[in-house]
Amino acid sequence: MSKRVTSRKSLTSMVRTRAAVLTVGLGASVVLGAGVATAAETGVSSSATVTAANAVHTQAAAQAKAAVAKKTAATKAAVAKKAAAKKKAASWIDPVAKYSLSASFNQAGGMWAHKHSGQDFAVPQGTNVMAAHGGTVVKAGGNGAGDGPAYGNAVVIKHGNGTYSQYAHLSRIDVHVGQVVTTGQHIALSGNTGNSSGPHLHFEIRTTPNYGSAINPVAFLHGMGVTV
C-alpha cells in the first residue's frame, strides 16, 4: 500500500516536473521569439535611419560641390573678363609714354584754319613716338605726308579695324610707306615742324587716311581701354 502511494506520488511529481519544464521551455521560446522579433524590428529601424542619414549627407555634399563649382565658374569668368580688358587695353596705347595734354580735339583758335583736328601731347623735342596700334604705314614724309604743310613731318598708319592714326610735327621719321608696324613700335621722334608753337605730338584718329575725317582721339582711346 505504501509503495503504491509512493509510486503515485513519484509519478505525479514527474508529471508536474515535466509540465513545469515544458512551461519553462514554452516561456523561453516565447521570450526568445519576442527577442528575435524585437531585434528584427530594431534592425529595420536602424537601416532606415542609416539610409536617411546617407541621403542627407549625399545631398549636402552635392550642394557643397555645386557651390564650389559656381564659385569657381564666377572666379574664372572674372579672371577672363580682366584678361580680356587687359588684352584690349594692350592692343592700343598712348603714342608717347610721358606727356601733358595741351590743345584738345575740336578746340577753336587762331592756330588752325578750322577747329583742331586732333589731340596734342606736349612732350620735349626728340621724344620717342610709338605706333598706338599695329598696322601698315600708308603715309610718311614732309608737307604733312600729303595733308598740308601745317602738319610738318607726319606719319599715317592704317589699322585692321578700319581706322587710321596720324602723328604730326615730327622732327624725324623712322618708318616708310608699306612698312608693317606693331603696337608700341618706335616710328618717329617728336618735334616742332609745321604750324606749331612748341615741341609736341599732334595725334589723330581718322576714318580715312586723309585730312578731314578725324574723330575724337581721346574718346576713341578711352573706348579701347586706354587711360589718356
Q: What band does 29 get if pLDDT is binned at 50, 70 and 90?
A: very low
- The per-residue pLDDT for 16 is 52
Average pLDDT over residues 112-139: 92
Q: What band does 48 get if pLDDT is binned at 50, 70 and 90?
A: confident
* Residues contacting 226, CB < 8 A, separation 6+: 89, 92, 93, 94
Distance CA 63, CA 124 (A): 62
Q: Are 184 and 131 in contact (CB under 8 A)?
A: yes
Distance CA 102, CA 155 (A): 20
Coil, strand or helix at 124: coil
Return the CATH number of 100-223, one of 3.40.190.10, 3.40.980.20, 2.70.70.10, 3.40.50.720: 2.70.70.10
Length of the chain: 228
Percent of the chain whose predicted confidence (pLDDT) is above 70: 72
Domain ranges of the chain: 1-91, 100-223
Q: List the grid coordinates of 118.
A: 586732333
- The per-residue pLDDT for 86 is 56
Q: What band does 74 get if pLDDT is binned at 50, 70 and 90?
A: confident
Average pLDDT over residues 127-156: 97
- The per-residue pLDDT for 77 is 81
Position with higher pLDDT, 87 vs 189: 189
- The per-residue pLDDT for 108 is 77
Q: What band does 34 get if pLDDT is binned at 50, 70 and 90?
A: very low
- The per-residue pLDDT for 84 is 59
Q: Per mean pLDDT, which range of 12-26, 55-69, 172-186, 207-221 is the poorest? A: 12-26
- The per-residue pLDDT for 202 is 96
State the chain's mean pLDDT as an integer: 81
- The per-residue pLDDT for 185 is 98
Q: List the grid coordinates of 10.
A: 513519484
Distance CA 28, CA 13 (A): 22
Instruction: Record the pTM.
Output: 0.62
pLDDT above 50: residue 200: yes
